[in-house]
């Protein structure tokens, strides 16, 4: 699933192509994309408006249109936004026609991607207030902030990192990579880390995301850039999807565990397994 670096890669590619253009037509061929809204209502709200800015929060892309109309998209599992793709590109669900004759198509084989509307800045802020926590590359992600968010939480630290209401934009890839870099086992209780470990994790979450961004994101399944090119960060994973490989730091064999239902990769020498809690 695309995470923050993948969505930000797309945003950076598309922003110069879309900003300042008028969204002339929105053709929604799969009404499930904007449920519970009616496709006609979404079309009427956005058609003919100028794209002032293409923004991102967490894993959401935000089309800021004239008069504070916001079209908020999420790629979910397999969504891709392709700029002028070849005719016959499959799995098209939505087509965005611009006033300069170019087109953007949202293709999504598994059809989990969504489009939502917010009218006015307050509605946009309210939308994100209930869904997203700290934006990790905006300077707000500190050890103290993580420690405060994790206080008293007994869920595994990996599940804590995946909770978008705590830290926005981190998914399965970048959580594994950040925990490895911080030498923290994913099964540690989120509230049980030492102060220095929260500090380390704040740094390594940013490092992992930044490395992903520099590589144009990771392509495991369907993720592609707006021009159809694949990301390359999957070739730089330290532990994620490297079960059976030697740890790049100590040579111990990387193991795969399941944490919170997600495949999780760990070096249990660099990331010592938590001791079992004594019965109270
Ligand atoms: Zn190791």
Kindly list the strands in the beta sheet with 114-119, ordered across the sheet, starting from the edge strand earlier in the chain.
80-83, 103-107, 92-98, 22-28, 49-57, 60-65, 69-74, 114-119
Exactly one of 56, 57, 59, 124 is catalytic; name it: 59
- Write down the pLDDT at residue 278: 58
How far apart are the CA of 247 and the centre of ligand 1, in A? 5
The pTM of the full predicted model, rounded to 2 decimals, is: 0.95
Decide if 206 is catalytic.
Answer: no
**21 tagged catalytic:** no
Smallest Cα–Cα separation from 4: which of 231, 185, 156, 265? Answer: 231
Q: How far is the CA of 249 from the centre of ligand 1 (A)?
A: 5
What is the whole-number distance in angstroms between the Cα of residue 246 and the centre of ligand 1? 8
Output the CA 98–ligand 1 centroid distance in Å: 50
Catalytic residue of the set 49, 50, 153, 262: 262
Among 91, 89, 85, 81, which Cα is nearest to 54's? 81
**Residues comprising the chain, all counted:** 280
Cβ-contact 265, 176 below 8 angstroms: yes
Q: How far is the centre of ligand 1, averaged over its atoms, from the C-alpha of 266 (Å)?
A: 8
- Best CA proximity match to 72, nearest among 114, 13, 135, 43: 114
Given 3, 6, 64, 177, which residue is catalytic?
3
82 alpha carbon to ligand 1 midpoint, in Å? 39
Instruction: For 37-79, write each residue's pLDDT tens digit.
Output: 999 999 999 999 999 999 999 999 999 999 999 999 999 999 9
Q: What is the SS3 assignment for 107?
A: strand
**59 has catalytic annotation:** yes
DSSP SS3 for 190: helix
Q: How far is the CA of 70 from the centre of ligand 1 (A)?
A: 45
128-154 burial: b if 16+ Cβ within 10 Å, else e: beeebbbbbbeeebebebbbebbeebe
Please tell me the distance from the alpha carbon of residue 66 to that of residue 46, in angstroms, as a whole number: 9
Write out residues in the chain with pLDDT < 50, as ranges: 280
Give the pLDDT confidence score for residue 280 in this predicted structure: 46
Dihedral sign of CA atoms 274, 4, 171, 163 in order = positive
Q: Is 3 a catalytic residue?
A: yes
């Amino acid at each position: 699933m695309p995470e923050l670096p993948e969505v930000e890669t797309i945003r950076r590619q598309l922003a110069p192509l879309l900003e300042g253009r008028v969204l002339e037509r929105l053709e929604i061929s799969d009404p499930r994309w904007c449920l519970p809204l009616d496709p006609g209502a979404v079309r009427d709200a956005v058609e003919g408006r100028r794209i002032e800015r293409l923004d991102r929060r967490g894993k959401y892309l935000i089309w800021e249109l004239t008069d504070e109309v916001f079209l908020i998209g999420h790629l979910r599992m397999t969504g891709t936004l392709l700029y002028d793709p070849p005719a016959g590109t499959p799995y098209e669900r939505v087509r965005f026609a611009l006033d300069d004759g170019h087109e953007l198509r949202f293709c999504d084989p598994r059809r989990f991607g969504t489009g939502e509307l917010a009218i006015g800045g307050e509605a946009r802020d309210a939308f994100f207030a209930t869904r997203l926590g700290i934006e990790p590359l905006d300077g707000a992600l500190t050890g103290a902030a993580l420690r405060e968010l994790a206080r008293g939480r007994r869920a595994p630290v990996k599940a804590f990192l995946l909770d978008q209401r705590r830290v926005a934009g981190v998914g399965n890839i970048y959580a594994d990579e950040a925990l490895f870099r911080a030498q923290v086992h994913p099964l540690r209780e989120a509230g049980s880390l030492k102060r220095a470990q929260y500090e380390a994790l704040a740094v390594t979450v940013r490092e992992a995301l930044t490395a992903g961004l520099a590589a144009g994101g990771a392509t495991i399944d369907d993720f592609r850039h707006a021009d159809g090119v694949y990301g390359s960060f999957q070739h730089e994973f330290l532990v994620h999807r490297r079960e059976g490989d030697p740890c790049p730091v100590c040579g111990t064999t990387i193991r795969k565990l399941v944490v919170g239902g997600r495949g999780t990769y760990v070096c249990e020498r660099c990331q010592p397994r938590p001791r079992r809690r004594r019965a109270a």
